[in-house]
């Protein structure tokens, strides 16, 4: 007797095929759902991380406001001057421009005191380390750059001089003094002063990007010329600055007196996801933080 193996019937094949297709569809749907969940979570996490990174950078920058500016010396001034205002006139609720020693270029004048400097008269002063200035500026023959000289003056108080920087060597700076708190045309430092580089930074929202620029020309102390701005964060819908004096009162940076009184800046920013979620929503995330520029407290404490 011959044994014949029995094959699958057409119905059995169709049932198997239908089962396979059903299982495949279920697996595909599950995979697609998981992919959407992962994508949505990634978009939200990226949004939150962007907010944290940009907020941290802005806060760190604002805390440096006034670094290298002789704020302590200027508290003895009888009149307020733009050269000592850390927060600049273009600052608004959506933009902040301020002086800060970003490069930390600083040196001490060397030689035998006293040191006399005369307004609008070019002179050369010896310093411990002039290379810090040329390294920060990328040149030994700068244009539109300024330095501060500040220290004890002949009237037994501290004073400052803002001077145009004309040339730099490793051991000297050639300068032309332009502004001072002293009413005399010639300022005598009875002890050798400190020299710091005047620098400024601007942070603002443009479109959906938070941007940062640095000053390229400080010839006008109230209105620097700015470099091309770098993007430090995108997909932002809001960036707001609120200014406070040392008593906690809100002040608008619309006058020199108000800007000199600023002792605290609160920052609020809002960012949205780079794309819509699978639900069609495009959520946002907001952060608010308080920043206290440590150098400005020198003035407000007095």
What the block records as the tokens of 97 is 């421009």
pTM for the model stands at 0.86
Is the separation of the CB atoms in 93 and 172 below 8 Å?
no
Query: 226-234: which pairs have CB atoms within 8 A and are 24 or more residues apart?
Result: 226/202, 229/202, 229/204, 232/54, 232/57, 232/203, 233/50, 233/53, 233/54, 233/209, 233/271, 234/50, 234/208, 234/209, 234/210, 234/274
Q: Would you state the pLDDT for residue 19?
A: 76
Question: Of 166, 197, 228, at which residue does a domain stop?
Answer: 197
- Indicate whether 5 belongs to any domain: no
Return d(Cα 241, Cα 94) in angstroms, integer. 6
pLDDT values of the chain reduced to their tens digit, one per residue, 302 residues = 555 556 667 676 677 677 777 777 777 666 565 677 788 899 999 999 999 999 999 999 999 999 999 988 887 788 889 999 999 999 999 999 999 999 999 999 999 999 999 999 999 999 999 999 999 999 999 999 999 999 998 876 889 999 999 999 999 999 999 999 877 899 999 999 999 999 999 999 999 999 999 999 999 999 999 999 999 999 999 999 999 999 999 999 999 999 999 999 999 999 999 999 988 899 999 999 999 998 886 544 44
- How far is residue 77's CA from residue 93's CA, in Å, rounded to a whole number? 28
Question: What's the number of domains the chain is made of?
Answer: 2
Range of the domain at 121: 106-197
pLDDT at residue 298, as a whole number: 52
Residue that is last in its domain, among 197, 231, 247: 197
Concatenated DSSP letters of 129-140:
-THHHHHHHT-S
The predicted structure's pLDDT at residue 260: 93
- For residue 27, is it within any domain? no
Residues 130 and 154 both lie in one domain: yes
pLDDT of 275? 92
Choosing from 143, 162, 197, the residue where a domain stops is 197
């Amino acid at each position: 007797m011959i044994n014949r193996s029995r094959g699958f019937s057409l119905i059995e094949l169709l049932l198997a095929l239908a089962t396979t297709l059903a299982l495949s569809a279920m697996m595909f749907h599950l995979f697609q759902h998981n992919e959407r969940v992962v994508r949505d979570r990634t978009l939200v996490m990226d949004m939150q991380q962007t907010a944290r990174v940009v907020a941290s950078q802005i806060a760190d920058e604002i805390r440096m406001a006034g670094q290298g500016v002789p704020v302590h010396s200027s508290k003895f001034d009888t009149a307020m001057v733009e050269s000592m205002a850390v927060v600049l006139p273009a600052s608004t609720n959506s933009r902040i421009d301020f002086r800060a020693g970003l490069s930390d270029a600083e040196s001490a004048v060397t030689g035998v005191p006293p040191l006399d400097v005369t307004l609008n008269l070019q002179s050369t002063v010896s310093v411990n380390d002039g290379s810090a200035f040329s390294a920060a500026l990328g040149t030994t023959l700068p244009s539109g750059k300024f330095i501060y000289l500040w220290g004890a003056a002949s009237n037994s108080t501290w004073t400052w001089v803002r001077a145009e920087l004309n040339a730099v060597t490793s051991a000297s700076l050639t300068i032309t003094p332009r502004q001072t708190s002293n009413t005399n045309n010639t300022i005598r430092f009875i002890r050798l002063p400190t020299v710091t580089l005047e620098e400024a930074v601007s942070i603002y929202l443009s479109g959906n990007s938070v941007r940062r620029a640095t000053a390229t020309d400080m010839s006008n102390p109230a209105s620097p010329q700015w470099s091309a701005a770098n993007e430090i964060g995108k997909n932002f819908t809001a960036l707001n600055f609120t200014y406070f004096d040392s008593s906690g009162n809100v002040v608008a940076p619309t006058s020199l007196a108000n800007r000199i009184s600023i002792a605290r800046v609160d920052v609020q920013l809002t960012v949205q996801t780079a794309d819509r979620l699978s639900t069609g929503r495009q959520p946002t995330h907001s952060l608010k933080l308080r920043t206290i520029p440590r150098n400005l407290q020198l003035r407000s404490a007095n």
